Amino acid sequence: MKAACRKNLRSDEKNGAAAFRLPRSLQKKKEGEAVQKESQRSRSAQKAKETERTEPADRYGGWVADEANRLKGLAQALLLWYDRSARVLPWRSDPTPYRVLVSELMLQQTRVEAVIEAFTRFVTELPDFAALAAADEQTVLKLWQGLGYYSRAKNLHRAARAVAEIYGGELPADYAALRTLPGIGDYTAGAVASIAFGLPHAAVDGNVLRVLARLCCDRGEVSSPAARKKAAALVEALMPKTRCGAFTQALMELGATVCRPTGRPLCESCPVRALCLAEKAGCQQELPVKRPAKPRRVERKTVLLLFCGGRLALQKRGDRGLLAGLYEPLTLEGRRERAEVFAALTALGADLEGAAFTPLGEAAHLFTHVEWRMTGWRVELKTEKGLGDNLVFTTKEERKSGYPIASAYRAYLERAEEGEEAPAT
């Protein structure tokens, strides 16, 4: 009987026929359960819709919705100002996805003035994803020279290769897909999505955090990922229906030029002054609230500019860690006096017969978490004999065109090159 029932049920599912009937009491129970399930489904769907509509506000206790409502006129005022006052910058004239990505990566933690020249040089030499994907790493690092934070250049290179391989050389117009590319985080994906593709995604950098903290007189600490998410929710709530890219850039531009990171903000020329709570309260310069930065770890180095016949010795740094893959003059750990430099070079196999030692003084270089305090020596060798293959002797011209050298050494290279002789031919 049980087997027959299962057989009938299967037959009903297939044919839709009522070959098998449940007793009336069970039928009623089943119908009741079905009605209950359906109404539960529709309640959940309704709840999901409501959550979707109000989630940003609810997640921040209504703060996003309230502020978005208060700042209703912000986008229009900001766009009008941006159209009149935006700086003319090379990546803005032709914002292709490639140029937007290159400029956004270059601009992170780097001044606009420093980026202008490097950007022009980079996109002239490597004008699209295909060219960048085909370039070798040394060429990419050389074109990046002077901007620092070389991991960005390596990530850009890897991203270009992924774009060439996976997307046929075209950046995907999709935030989630952008986010999967090497080195592209929330900020860069949001900037590229909005500026290059006009999609309504937020790009929250330090400028945007500062502007929002002041506009809303928000005394919350801004360095945490949670603070960035809250700011992104507000930016997306304020995003106009069209011109998303211009809005993204206008917010950043306001932060860079009017609501400035250092010095007094220029509230008298601010297009959104009427909406600014910090300006009303007179506390602009107390905001944003930031966690105090950790002191940098100090490392001492001795930089040796070994010259022979007008050529300077360089060595390549390892593939990992700070300044990975870049070239540098011979560098010893710690601060070494002349006798110690002599001993270290002798241990390396250098022939110091007739060598001349000239002190090049002190220099310092700041990285994000480390400070290098350096002392330098120029050593004029009579012969390259004895020094290992890991040192390459280079002319000034070769260093200019082919060897990416970390800017930490710039002061010494300039000092040493002042006295550089013409290379022996």
The answer to the question of residue 279 lying near ligand SF4 (CB under 6 A) is yes
For 23-38, give the DSSP string: -HHHHHHHHHHHHHHH
List the structure tokens of 405: 């050298």
For residue 273, what are the contacts with CB-CB under 8 A and spacing of at least 6? 267, 279
Exactly one of 13, 33, 50, 104 is catalytic; name it. 104
Query: Is residue 367 classed as helix, strand or coil in its secondary structure?
Result: coil
The residue type at 347: A
Cβ at position 274, least distance to ligand SF4 in Å? 9
DSSP for residue 267: G
The answer to the question of residue 235 lying near ligand SF4 (CB under 6 A) is no
Contact by Cβ (8 Å): 163, 184 = no
Query: Is residue 196 classed as helix, strand or coil in its secondary structure?
Result: helix
Nearest in space to 359 (alpha carbons), one of 304, 290, 425, 319: 304
DSSP for residue 61: T
Cβ at position 239, least distance to ligand SF4 in Å? 18
Measured distance CA(236)–CA(249) in Å, rounded? 14
The answer to the question of residue 265 lying near ligand SF4 (CB under 6 A) is yes
The answer to the question of residue 267 lying near ligand SF4 (CB under 6 A) is yes
From candidates 276, 330, 345, 374, binder to ligand SF4 by CB under 6 A? 276
Nearest in space to 100 (alpha carbons), one of 259, 246, 257: 246
From candidates 161, 273, 396, 415, binder to ligand SF4 by CB under 6 A? 273
The answer to the question of residue 156 lying near ligand SF4 (CB under 6 A) is no
Q: Quick one: which segment of 6-14, 259-267, 305-313, 329-337 binds ligand SF4 (CB under 6 A)?
A: 259-267
Q: Quick one: which segment of 167-175, 272-280, 316-324, 372-380 binds ligand SF4 (CB under 6 A)?
A: 272-280
Q: Is 117 a catalytic residue?
A: no
Cβ at position 237, least distance to ligand SF4 in Å? 17
From candidates 284, 302, 375, 394, binder to ligand SF4 by CB under 6 A? 284
Cβ at position 85, least distance to ligand SF4 in Å? 13
Which CB sits closer to ligand SF4, 236 or 279?
279
Contact by Cβ (8 Å): 209, 290 = no
Q: Which residues are catalytic?
A: 104
Residues that bind ligand SF4 (CB under 6 A): 211, 214-215, 258-259, 265-267, 270, 272-273, 276, 278-279, 284
